Amino acid sequence: MRFVVIAFVLLIFHSTCISQTQTPTQYIRMNQMGFLPYAPKIAAIVDANAHVFEIVNAKKQVVYKGTLSKAKEWSQSGEKIQIADFSTFTKPGMYTIRIPNVAESYEFSISNTAFYNVNNAIIKAFYLNRASIEILPQYAGTYARKAGHWDTSVIVLPSAAGPKRKEGDVISCPKGWYDAGDYNKYIVNSGVTVGTLLLAYENYAAYFDTLTWNIPESSNNIPDILDEIKWNTDWMLTMQDPDDGGVYNKTTDANFCGMIMPHEASVSKRYVVAKGTSASLNFAAVMALSYRIFKPFDAAYAQRCLHAAIQAWNWAELHPNIPFQNPTQDGDYPRITTGGYGDKTFSDEKSWAAAELLIATKQAQPYASCVDLNTNYGIPVWFNVGSMALYSLFNHKQDVAQWIDTAKVTERILEQALKLHQYQENENAYKVPVVDFSWGSNGVLANQGVLFLYAYKITKQYNYLNAALASYDYILGRNATEYSFITGYGFKSTQNVHHRPSEGDNIPGSVPGFVAGGPNGGTKRDCFGNYSSFAAKAYYDATCSYTTNEVAINWQAPLVYLAHGIIAEYSTIISNSTSTLAYSPYSELTFARTETSKEIPIFSETPFTISSAESWIRVTPSSGNNSQNIRVETTEPNALEQTRKGTITLSTADGHKQTITVYQKGNAKNFRVEAESFIRMHGVQTEQTTDDGGGLNVGWINNDDSMVFSIDISQTGTYKLNYRVSSYDNIGTLVLKHNNIEYSRIDINPTGGWQIWNTVSDTAYFTEGIYEVTWYAEKGGFNWNYVDFTFVSSEKQDK
């Protein structure tokens, strides 16, 4: 490890010793590790019906008083939420939040090092999950364990046989990380995992170069994060058939073993299983990316990675559609029943691999034409990695500009980030950007956090950095379950993850630093009877709950990126500020047509002034000497149809200036209602959409499900409603009502796929006003992305 300035030894997990029965988390949900001094500080107050809150120091003195926001119902949790915002309280120390006559929180810190221990534990978890190595006490403390799965005698199954390697051959595939709660190693899931970690280093190399968390390689000349990544890429390289370049899908047991330790499970035979298109393209992308990251440290290793990437790409070109499925029994060879990662769509992997090879080789052919910028791939997940191409292309936009439309790359990233951020600001009662309660929802949220960090990197708008921080706040406790989802970190943290070493080591609790999968609103066939009917609460801290409480490397990796990226960006902001700090963590404000007032925090250790040149913007107070909230008001309505734009300027005596952009929406006659922007709902869920524009769509719509929205009709008249919908093979019916009066009704015919979209039109007449309307699924079985309102006439027209 070069330039070592920080050392970290994980001996015991960090947990405040307080009973986890009846706790203040029932009413006060917050980041349980604390807050950074010059960043937003928000807690969610649940079902309290209170008006004020207090910040209390260790001496039981009230040091800050604030007013709670108006309660907002969140249909995903069945709760009424008020927000306690104490962002402008910046003094480091230990504090509690008190809601008079209701509850007082556990103690939390305000400190620049509030996340230091948990961030190191999150990345240390990869070391603790290594295969083929003894985990020693000097690196793991209590969590030391014997080595398991040396994987030096792995059998080639018939499905994996190649030009020279035959069924029954024995090969060596050591190292790598255990994938999740099991002891198998999968190429497809390693793809998005390693890719995310490598991009974390590429974007924050100077930051990671200074960190170490006490692993066996910490004394070498390579950053610890790259040492850890190399443990897995070393294994991945063994998974390539040297004769044809194809890549095996996994190193695996025949079946999942019991909840035992690695060395106890190592008696089972191990196998490599079938080559596949997805495995080979994921491998090609990771190895091409590894080439450019490892080249400054080990040129020979980097060249080996690039050669392997090209060989895997060539194999995939010859075998463009080889999906994976577990092989059945074949003679004396067993049926394989472990995880499949059976992706059947390969355009996303091909786009990512092409992008990485284009950057690595600087050769337009054959790669540039295979990069797909037209499809919206959404947040990266193991079966949909297309957005990984966008991330790398943005990082190297100057190198690829002669072949790639880099403006479109940036546009694709920002359009996804903007929609998610708008949902956080306007729709989510917890003020967090969580919209997806599918399996592994915490991994989805962490990947959204990575997206926000990219949006901040592109725009330098603090709102996106705040959204990334809010994502981390959610995982560490600002959520409807009351839990911090990081094992061992927080005053009510996940303790019983579905993870064999955690269950088999006979140590109370779980191995620290792992993120649990999180709430899952879908069908769950484990731990029957222990789940809430509310999607945001559908989580169970028990080993049996593999659907909500398993761990997985592809969820862990974006959390590493998010947690460390936040600190890297925050540290840069503070270090780049003048010696006397003054800045707002908000880069822009948006006012609805009828909205007139907002507050924003100013962090300051020096006198400042704040003003606007626009007559329609008023700022009070116009100056200050320390951290405080500033009120921004619109003094007159916007008579235009389009949104108008103004600015606020924050200035200090030494010449520091910050510009905050203010938008005020106008009397728009034409507008869009995003399906996920409901204020209440019954039964539905959201998911990533591949429709044009990206973002989310509403799905899992059954008969009698409903969604409630607020819509602003600025002019009386007839409107054309263009619904964007899809259906696999059902005929659905969607009805728009207000006060039980029907305004619109459409039938949705099958489109042939859940992400194959069609537009269905209707007309409706409205008088001017702000409506709370309900869209009701008379017949379900369809997806809904949005509806566009287009003004047709001031007259009422027949349908």
Q: What contacts 390, CB < 8 A, 6 or more positions away?
A: 373, 377, 409, 412, 413
Token pair, residue 638, equals 């916007």
CA distances from residue 276 to 159, 315, 346 in whole angstroms, order as listed:
10, 9, 10
Neighbours of 29 (CB within 10 A): 28
C-alpha to C-alpha distance for 11 and 441, rounded to whole angstroms: 29
Token pair, residue 431, equals 């003020």
State yes or no: is 498 an active-site residue.
yes
State yes or no: is 541 an active-site residue.
yes
C-alpha to C-alpha distance for 600 and 266, rounded to whole angstroms: 57
Element (H, E) at 624: strand 623-624
111: three-class secondary structure by DSSP: coil
Residue 294's identity, in one-letter code, is F
Residue 199: is it exposed, middle or buried by C-beta count within 10 angstroms (0-12/13-18/19+)? Answer: buried
Peptide bond into 621 cis (omega under 30): yes
State yes or no: is 499 an active-site residue.
no
List the catalytic residue out of 498, 499, 503, 569. 498
List the catalytic residue out of 436, 482, 503, 541. 541
Token pair, residue 69, equals 């926001």
- Looking from the CA of 561 toward its CB, the CA atoms found within 13 Å total 32
DSSP labels, 98-130: EETTTEEPPPEEESTTTTHHHHHHHHHHHHHTB
Token pair, residue 322, equals 């080889």
Neighbours of 312 (CB within 10 A): 32
Contact assessment for residue 609 and residue 651, using Cβ atoms and an 8 Å cutoff:
yes
C-alpha to C-alpha distance for 606 and 619, rounded to whole angstroms: 19
Phi/psi of residue 753, each to 5°? 180, 155
C-alpha to C-alpha distance for 165 and 171, rounded to whole angstroms: 9
Element (H, E) at 680: strand 680-682
C-alpha to C-alpha distance for 513 and 487, rounded to whole angstroms: 5
Contact assessment for residue 363 and residue 371, using Cβ atoms and an 8 Å cutoff:
no
Max CA separation in the chain (angstroms): 83
Q: What contacts 54, CB < 8 A, 6 or more positions away?
A: 62, 64, 65, 66, 97, 98, 99, 100
C-alpha to C-alpha distance for 520 and 518, rounded to whole angstroms: 6
CA distances from residue 409 to 374, 446, 467 in whole angstroms, order as listed:
10, 21, 21
Contact assessment for residue 541 and residue 444, using Cβ atoms and an 8 Å cutoff:
no
Torsion sign over Cα 502, 508, 514, 515: positive
Torsion sign over Cα 761, 763, 768, 772: negative
66: three-class secondary structure by DSSP: strand
Please give the radius of gyration of the chain, using alpha carbons only, rounded to the nearest integer: 27
550: three-class secondary structure by DSSP: strand
List the catalytic residue out of 182, 241, 349, 762. 182
List the catalytic residue out of 79, 227, 228, 550. 550
C-alpha to C-alpha distance for 543 and 181, rounded to whole angstroms: 10
Pairing of strands 741-748, 706-713: unpaired
Cα 108 off chain centre by: 24
Residues recognised as catalytic: 182, 498, 541, 550
